[in-house]
């Protein structure tokens, strides 16, 4: 009995003394999220990284008004099997925020910076996870490097006109005529109340959505010139719609495997945008959730299980 107790005690000591998933060479804990930055095009680009770089890579591209913070659950839960990289775009999160007078805030420019970022990290093959703004940025990268993209995980990342919801009403007016009069109503989008609405609208249990997200976003959007930079992106979004046919053709021609995990109660990108993928994606996994724009906030655990299954197949 004494020997058994001693052996058990020794096993426990060993178990709790050895960090999980540790590199023998440098002691890196692969299951821990690391917070890094690198210079790209004269800008400091912040990114979160977890998992073993020897494993398959998933690049996580965030939406508006968020940052790589929105992928914290994915980074934590999938690091045991996958290598995960989540950058912040210029003007977002912890990346540099160049003035709109010196940096042109367009989706072409954001995609170019992230493309250079991936090249600098020597990422040749990866799956893209895209949400909201991550879609126009991700599809620009995918069409430029179709040989690199091994799969697409789409969480409310729209590329169809039928997927543009009623919440785009004021922005559509901006596309027709850019003026201070048209921009004035859009400034409300940057208020704390409006940001909270984006995270909670359409959710089953708003009281369970972490308020840290919209409070972080509000802090960043309150910086000088932030409204101007984001209005520039709102105006430029019209050029994404012009590229929708090209991106749809990419899906048809490339036969890239696609996982759809979509919050159906999204006022910006409703379920019609998810259904439209069925017209063009040849290899498609499809799951609709009874939640809002940021589906990971409410249904992250199930979405992450589906990502794991999808990645094993691809």
Spatial separation of the C-alpha atoms in residues 294 and 74, rounded to whole Å: 13
CB environment 286-305: b (16+ within 10 A), e (fewer): beebebbbbbbbbbbeebbe
CA atoms within 13 A of residue 208's CA, in its CB half-sphere: 13
Residue among 62, 69, 83, 293 flagged as catalytic: 293
| Beta strand 126-130 pairing with 57-61 | parallel
pTM: 0.91
Q: Each residue of 94-103: pLDDT tens digit? A: 999 999 999 9
CA atoms within 13 A of residue 221's CA, in its CB half-sphere: 22
CATH number at residue 287: 3.40.50.1820
In a domain, 9, yes or no: no
pLDDT at 30: 78
In a domain, 109, yes or no: yes
Instruction: Please count the structural domains in the chain.
Output: 1
Specify the higher pLDDT residue, 313 or 9: 313
In a domain, 21, yes or no: no
Tokens 């160049």 — which residue? Answer: 98
Distance between first and last Cα of the chain: 50
- Taking all residues of the chain, what is their mean pLDDT, rounded to a whole number? 92
In a domain, 8, yes or no: no
Q: Each residue of 112-125: pLDDT tens digit? A: 999 999 999 999 99
Domain of residue 253, residue span: 32-313
Q: Which two tokens stand for residue 21?
A: 């998933």
Q: Which two tokens stand for residue 222?
A: 């309150």
Q: DSSP character for 70?
A: G
In a domain, 18, yes or no: no
Residues 93/68, Cβ–Cβ less than 8 Å: yes
In a domain, 265, yes or no: yes
Q: Each residue of 216-252: pLDDT tens digit? A: 999 999 999 999 999 999 999 999 999 999 999 999 9
In a domain, 19, yes or no: no
Annotated catalytic, 83? no
Tokens 């590329």 — which residue? Answer: 159
pLDDT at 3: 46
Reduced to 3 states (helix: H, G, I; strand: E, B; else coil), residue 96 is: coil
In a domain, 100, yes or no: yes
Q: Tell me the pLDDT band of 28, cut-offs 50, 70 and 90.
A: low
pLDDT at 155: 98
Cβ-count burial of 86 within 10 angstroms (0-12 exposed, 13-18 middle, 19+ buried)?
buried
Q: DSSP character for 103?
A: S
């Amino acid at each position: 009995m004494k020997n058994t107790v001693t052996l058990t005690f020794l096993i426990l000591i060993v178990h709790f003394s050895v960090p999980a998933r540790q590199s023998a060479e440098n002691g890196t804990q692969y299951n821990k999220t690391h917070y890094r930055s690198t210079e790209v095009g004269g800008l400091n680009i912040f990114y979160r990284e977890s998992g073993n770089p020897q494993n398959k890579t998933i690049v996580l591209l965030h939406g508006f008004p968020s940052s790589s913070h929105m992928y914290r659950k994915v980074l934590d839960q999938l690091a045991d099997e996958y290598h995960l990289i989540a950058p912040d775009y210029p003007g977002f999160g912890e990346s540099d925020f160049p003035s709109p007078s010196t940096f042109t805030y367009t989706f072409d420019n954001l995609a170019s910076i992230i493309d250079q970022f991936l090249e600098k990290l020597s990422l040749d093959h990866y799956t893209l996870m895209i949400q909201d703004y991550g879609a126009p940025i991700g599809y620009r990268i995918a069409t430029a490097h179709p040989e690199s993209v091994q799969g697409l995980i789409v969480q409310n990342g729209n590329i169809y006109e039928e997927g543009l919801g009623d919440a785009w009403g004021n922005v559509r007016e901006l596309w027709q005529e850019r003026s201070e009069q048209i921009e004035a109503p859009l400034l409300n989008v940057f208020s704390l109340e409006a940001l909270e609405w984006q995270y909670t609208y359409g959710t089953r249990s708003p009281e369970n959505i972490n308020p840290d997200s919209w409070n972080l976003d509000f802090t960043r959007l309150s910086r000088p010139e932030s409204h101007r930079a984001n209005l520039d992106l709102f105006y430029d979004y019209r050029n994404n719609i012009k590229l929708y046919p090209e991106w749809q053709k990419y899906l048809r021609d490339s036969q890239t495997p696609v996982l759809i995990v979509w919050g159906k109660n999204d006022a910006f990108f409703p379920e019609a945008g998810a259904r439209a993928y069925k017209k063009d994606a040849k290899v498609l996994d499809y799951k609709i959730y009874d939640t809002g724009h940021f589906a990971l906030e409410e249904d992250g655990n199930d979405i992450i299980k589906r990502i794991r299954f999808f990645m094993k197949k691809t």
